[in-house]
Structure 1
Amino acid sequence: MGALRKNDRGLFARCRQKAGTLFKGVAAMAVFASGSLSVQAETLGTRAPIAFLYAPATDTSLYLKDADTGFEPGSLVKVMTAATVFEALSSGEVTPETTCKVSEHAWRTGGAPSRRATMFAAIKSEIPVMDLLRGLLIHNANDAAIVLAECLDGSEEAFAGRMNTLAAALGMKGSHFVNPTGYGELENPDGKAEANRTTARDMAMLAKMILDQHKSYYPLFSELEFTWNNIFQRNKNPLLGEIRELDGLGAGQAASGFSGLASVERNGRRVIAVVAGLADEKARLAAMKEVVEGAWDYFAVQRIFARGETVTDAKVFGGTASSVPLRAVSDVDVLLPRGGTLDYRLRVVYSGPLKAPVRMGTPSGEIQVLGNDGIVYRAPLETAGEVDEGSLEERALGAVSYYLFGWF
């Protein structure tokens, strides 16, 4: 854990002192009881209209600025294209050695004739999936994206459907994809043109999924060069090499501005950063540096509760006792500001009262840390004791108490 300043330790000492009294509320799929704490110091800021900074290890949203506002991702869509192919590889639908044929459409629309980013795949040639992924992620190749889409689903449109299915499964509520390249629009059944759309939060969610579930393919994002068809090309991610320890993921440009998705690991701590809506490449890089560097300048890991430590008591209905302790399933380590004029609240959410009998170690809700922009961290809780079912008389008294006074 990072070293804490004196005022940081004081903040969370007060937080823990309050936990025993603040977290006495219960909830039936709702929330009761929270405490408010504030601390003063500098805060992260960025010129980006849209920004999101996320720490995947602690599941903490460190900084949000219009993180759910939609934008056109441009070539950033190719990260989603890659993730969709990774899923097909993991399921065994294709293998890295599976070959895909380069159609005339892929060659003409995404290859050399298009005068856009390409791996220069030869028309009618057959290319292994792994080499197409290298072309996609190192060359930012549109022909590679189209060939992969046609190989898996027969067309760009059909593959976009697969992308949207995956997005829905990941909870990317603000995203909709119409093709695997990020270029152009698609006419929907109503005759209206649709473009690719996403949000900063969704892009961070996608990056976390790749890091968690497809770690073996993640190094493709940081390979420095790739030669195909005797043409040597360096990695076209404009952020790579510009920010220390950045090892993925990509960048885009569209009508709504320049955007970027970055993942950086330093000294065992990884953060994911997204910026969007910037005027040019220079502004995008400057904004990304502001957000990424802010993770180390303004935040420190702070332990709120240790694994197994009691957080609060949950009400129990119909048992030999009226409550049971709830404990942290694992260490509750949160990346929180070293300071800032920020209000942080702690609250416990669980479905209650718990019905007896209650067994030790039963998952029972979660602890949440809330900042000005909503929940920045959540961790599961479980029961730290057992409550047997009460006698007929005890259950009757419990029922009367519940109907007269509620859960409190």
Structure 2
Amino acid sequence: MHRHAFAAAAACALLASPAMAAPKDEVARIVANPAFKTAVATLDKDYDRTVADIVTLTEIPAPPFKEAERGKAYKTMLEAHGLTEVEVDPEGNVMGLRKGTKSGPVVVVSAHLDTVFPEGTNVKVRREGTKLHAPGVADDTHNLAVLLAWIRAMDAAKIRTQSDILFVGTVGEEGAGDLRGVRYFFGKGKYKDRTKAFFSVDGLDPGGITHIGVGSKRYRVTFSGPGGHSYGAFGIVNPMAAMAKAITDLYEIQPPTDPKVTYSASVTGGGTSVNAIPDKVFTEFDMRSADPAELAKLDARFKAIMQEAVAHENKARSTRVGQVSVEIKPIGDRPAGQTPKTSPIVAYTAAAIQALGYTPEYDASSTDANAPMAVGVPAITIGGGGKGGRAHSLDEWIDVEKSGGVKGMSVGLAAVLAVAGVN
């Protein structure tokens, strides 16, 4: 069966479940069960171990495209937690299976291995009271440890889910990684046609449900020309003039606000000297929307603007020693997607959030959940609990105060159990 058809069939099967008629009742049943209470008690009892796992993993550098060392350590941890079929796939994703009582499609629960910080960044964790400070400690290292805590809690409570649960540490979620890990998982991975629901655990807020995946198109656009002396060659074409016009014309676009569409000229450089007309300059651009059609429309207009700016410059100044040209190189392409609020994974998660004393908040973002959404697999991103701040900065931090941490972790565990099914 084609994976799009499979995803639709899996979603229909879930919708047909008797428990789906009343997700709040089903979640209430799970939360009230003595086994769940034992699981939560285990989260509490083992909390120091969870914090220790956060520290251990944070202090293993995982810069973009160089997550292998952390992945190796995480594979060892998954094996130590008794998962089966533990492996590292060809893209670098680390995964292991917790078997359910019924054969069939799996529920995937993931957190990403990579951080935004370059090689050589000091990732030593500094503790001040209940706060841990280090680059990447919250995004997303904390949640790698949360996944391990959930496994221990289920084992201690002897909880058997109906569906198999595949725990995954993905690569390439951040920046230029362009979701390469999860895109491989749903493009070439062995579970691509065997996934009925996908949780990305990314962030901290236990009340958040990211059910809209914001797509993006990213380019490095290089404008080239003959170059020359700023005085002696004055009057010839200048690639910087073409680039300036392209940026100015792009910013004349008034994009829709519903659906939200954005663009940004973000990074620029080039040239050789203050007294030289540059022969090459570049700018990197980012465009985003949760609506694939609107994003495609902006993408087409963007490319036209780049070409029009070049044509304008070649007409405006002398081309006696050469013309200006442009190269538009893709550097990122994240698919957009959406999981409806009526989907079981969203309804069960919202019920779990409410059952444990929080208020559901629905939002849109760009996360690993984009890739399954784009191929029709029900997917959301949730927070692993706790508080923190300054993500993507050198002074990133999380608060590992125990009561709030345990309560926050309980939400995701309840949601995963509801989707995977328990007797």
TM-score by length of 1: 0.26
Going by fraction, where is strand more abundant, 1 or 2?
Answer: 1
Going by fraction, where is helix more abundant, 1 or 2?
Answer: 2
TM-score by length of 2: 0.26
